[in-house]
């Protein structure tokens, strides 16, 4: 059994994937109510009753964190999750009824910063290695619908030559302007 040395790029990508999964699992724990933390309920309470707002806030946080976890639509999902968490943390900690809890807000900002690292780290070449669900294009073999029968190619002249269209001929009168460059062009065009 031979072991190949792991490249630094693959190790970096694996580490970033593990950190991304850890961060998104924290947000999923908040959405499911397993961990005390800022939920998006306070953003939804503006437009709906408290019970529905709690459900909608949890669903939004869970779905965005799950998309980040599996790596689908990673950049938009990470950005929306970070914006949702920032504003809900800001309003719940420093809003009109907020407890002015700098520690809780700081915790949320640190998580948002680490989430932004997953947003920034995704280059176009690392797309194939960052997602758990991905589509890999494969080459399809091209097969003719019917069998191709080869025909013999020879150098002999065909007995009957049929011309479909005769080549057009250009006839130009000699120019008296003295423009030799134009005359040469016309002669070259006519031949």
Average pLDDT over residues 33-39: 88
Residue 191 confidence (pLDDT)? 60
Q: Cβ(53)–Cβ(70) under 8 Å?
A: no
Q: Which residues of 123-160 are buried (b: 16+ CB within 10 A; e: fewer)?
A: eeeeeeebbeeeeeeeeeeeeeeeeeeeeeeeeeeeee
Q: Cβ(133)–Cβ(70) under 8 Å?
A: yes
Determine whether 16 is exposed, middle or buried from the number of CB atoms within 10 Å of its CB (0-12, 13-18, 19+): middle
Average pLDDT over residues 54-81: 91
Distance CA 93, CA 8 (A): 41
Count the neighbouring beta carbons within 10 Å of the beta carbon of residue 24: 24
Confidence tier at 81 by pLDDT (50, 70, 90):
very high
Residue 181 confidence (pLDDT)? 57
Residue 115 confidence (pLDDT)? 86
3-state secondary structure the chain: CCCCCCCHHHHHHHHHHHHHHHHHHHHHHHHHCCCCCCCCHHHHCCCCCHHHHHHHHHHHHHHHHHHHHHCCCHHHHHHHHHHHHHHHHHHHHHCCCCCCCHHHHHHHHHHHHHHHHHHHCCCHHHHHHHCCCCCCCCCCCCCCCCCCCCCCCCCCCCCCCCCCCCCCCCCCCCCCCCCHHHHHHHHHHHC
What are the extents of the domains in the chain?
9-130
Residue 71 confidence (pLDDT)? 83
Average pLDDT over residues 60-89: 91
- Cα torsion through 42, 48, 51, 55, rounded to 10: -70
Residue 102 confidence (pLDDT)? 86
Residue 142 confidence (pLDDT)? 77
């Amino acid at each position: 059994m031979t072991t190949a040395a792991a490249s630094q790029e693959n190790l970096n990508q694996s580490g970033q994937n593990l950190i991304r999964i850890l961060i998104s699992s924290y947000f999923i724990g908040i959405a499911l109510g397993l961990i005390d933390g800022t939920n998006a309920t306070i953003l939804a309470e503006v437009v709906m009753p408290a019970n529905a707002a709690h459900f909608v806030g949890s669903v939004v946080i869970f779905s965005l964190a799950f998309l980040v976890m599996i790596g689908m639509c990673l950049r938009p999902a990470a950005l929306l999750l970070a914006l949702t968490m920032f504003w809900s943390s800001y309003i719940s900690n420093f809003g009109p009824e907020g407890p002015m809890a700098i520690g809780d807000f700081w915790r949320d900002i640190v998580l948002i910063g680490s989430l932004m690292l997953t947003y920034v780290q995704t280059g176009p070449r690392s797309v194939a290695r960052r997602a758990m669900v991905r589509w890999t294009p494969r080459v399809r073999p091209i097969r003719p619908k019917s069998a191709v029968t080869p025909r013999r190619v020879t150098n002999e002249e065909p007995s009957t030559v049929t011309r479909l269209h005769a080549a057009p001929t250009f006839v130009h009168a000699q120019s008296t302007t003295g423009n030799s460059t134009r005359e040469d062009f016309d002669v070259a065009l006519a031949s």
